[in-house]
Homo-oligomer: A and B are copies of this chain.
Amino acid sequence: MKIVIDAMGSDSAPAVEIEGAIMAVEEFGYDLVLVGDERPVNEELAKRGFSGSKISVIHAPEKIGMQEPAALSVRRKRRSSIVVGMELLKRDEADGFVSAGNTGAVVCAATLSLRLLPGIERPGIAITVPTLTGTTVIIDVGANIDPKPIHLFQYGIMADAYSKYILHKTNPSIGLLNVGEEESKGTNFIKEAHTLLSESKLNFIGNIEGRDIYAGSADIVLCDGFVGNVILKISESVIDTIVKLLKQEIKASILATLGAAMAASAFGELKKKMDYSEYGGAPLLGVDGRCIISHGSSNPKAIKNAIKVAAEFKTQEVNKHIVEELESY
């Protein structure tokens, strides 16, 4: 098993990536390839006293920043860690790719280098969020902001395989995000997607509303990438805002201040639970390869988990299952 890691992606690159890679080698024994600016990468490895053949370094002097336009950067920065790393997968020199860098650039490079799985029209990013009853997969959160109804149906097929073979859920339920539960609700786009899903072999439970996601009403929630992206960013910011507003409120009372200090550990646990990087990052589904996109603020554990998920995509043959399922239609 050989997994490639974009060493220059996260906000704290390359330290976080290298720490996570070392953890993955020690825990799982994979062969890893760190792609990035070799000097700081080797320095970080040396600083941690790591030596041995399980981690190799491939030099990629360019870096695609978080705010850079995706398609343009991928075309121009051919020696960037994302492009160089993806080319390793393309040439079958590695089994999976993990990046905490520019999401758009990863989607773009993956689509260009690896191409899509047979029959798949668009890739989709699937995040896993904690709910009151467990976890839920939301797809797409930004790979495809203006999809057609058929793309949502294909997201259903892909997320179904991901949920079964990686998250080990039996017969995962699939909800279509809408403004109401009734079949008559929503835009024409949503209504057409509803028809496709209703006629499929998927465990489609119909429309669900925004409030149902965190209640855990469905194992999988389908939405267009624009809405999914807003959901992802809103959810993160609501949590931050609540914590900050709570702190303001709490200052108003000595008793509450004391109380908050005592409840602080619970807050910490909660924040970890709400952080999707704990679930090993978000797979880019639909490309003919295995790409895991981690959060820019990932910690080493999140990188380690992402590496593990990339490996599991290979051993569980998720892409093969997706193609077979699609072919059965």
Residues in A lying within 8 Å of B, measured CB to CB:
67, 69, 130-132, 142, 145-146, 177, 179, 182, 184, 186-188, 209-215, 223, 225-227, 229-242, 244-246, 249-250, 252-253, 255-256, 258-267, 269-270, 273-274
Which residue of the partner chain, among B187, B214, B230, B273, contacts A240 with CB atoms under 8 Å? Answer: B214
User: 8 tightest CB-CB pairs across the interface, nearest first?
Assistant: A259-B262, A210-B233, A259-B263, A249-B266, A214-B241, A211-B237, A211-B233, A210-B230
Residues of B within 8 A of A261 (CB): 259
Which residue of the partner chain, among B179, B214, B226, B266, contacts A238 with CB atoms under 8 Å? Answer: B214
Which residue of the partner chain, among B241, B256, B267, contacts A266 with CB atoms under 8 Å? Answer: B256
Whether A182 and B69, one on each chain, are in contact in the complex, defined by CB atoms closer than 8 angstroms, is yes
Q: What is the CA–CA distance of A311 and B238 in the complex, to the nearest angstrom?
A: 32
Name 9 A/B residue pairs within 8 A (Cβ), A-sorted. Answer: A69-B184, A226-B227, A231-B234, A242-B270, A249-B269, A255-B265, A256-B263, A259-B260, A259-B262
Which residue of the partner chain, among B215, B223, B226, B270, contacts A187 with CB atoms under 8 Å? Answer: B226
Whether B179 and A145, one on each chain, are in contact in the complex, defined by CB atoms closer than 8 angstroms, is yes
Residues of B within 8 A of A260 (CB): 259, 262-263, 266
Residues of B within 8 A of A67 (CB): 182
Which residue of the partner chain, among B186, B234, B267, contacts A213 with CB atoms under 8 Å? Answer: B234
Main SS of the interface on chain A? helix
Residues of B within 8 A of A253 (CB): 265-266
Whether A234 and B234, one on each chain, are in contact in the complex, defined by CB atoms closer than 8 angstroms, is yes
Residues of B within 8 A of A146 (CB): 187-188
Whether A132 and B230, one on each chain, are in contact in the complex, defined by CB atoms closer than 8 angstroms, is no
Q: Whose C-beta in chain B lies nearest to the C-beta of A245?
A: B270
Which residue of the partner chain, among B131, B229, B250, contacts A179 with CB atoms under 8 Å? Answer: B229
Distance from A124 Cβ to chain B, minimum over Cβ atoms (Å): 14
Which residue of the partner chain, among B238, B245, B255, B266, contacts A235 with CB atoms under 8 Å? Answer: B238
Residues of B within 8 A of A262 (CB): 255-256, 258-260, 262
Whether B240 and A263, one on each chain, are in contact in the complex, defined by CB atoms closer than 8 angstroms, is no
Residues of B within 8 A of A244 (CB): 132
Q: Whose C-beta in chain B lies nearest to the C-beta of A181?
A: B67
Q: What is the CA–CA distance of A200 and B250 in the complex, to the nearest angstrom?
A: 42
Q: What is the CA–CA distance of A214 and B188 in the complex, to the nearest angstrom?
A: 30
Whether A237 and B214, one on each chain, are in contact in the complex, defined by CB atoms closer than 8 angstroms, is yes
Residues of B within 8 A of A250 (CB): 263, 266
Distance from A297 Cβ to chain B, minimum over Cβ atoms (Å): 12
Q: Whose C-beta in chain B lies nearest to the C-beta of A216?
A: B241
Q: Whose C-beta in chain B lies nearest to the C-beta of A212?
A: B237
Given the contacts A234-B234, A266-B253, A241 and B186 also touching, CB distance less than 8 Å: no
Most B-side CB within 10 Å, residue of A67, A227, A232, A240: A227
Distance from A61 Cβ to chain B, minimum over Cβ atoms (Å): 25
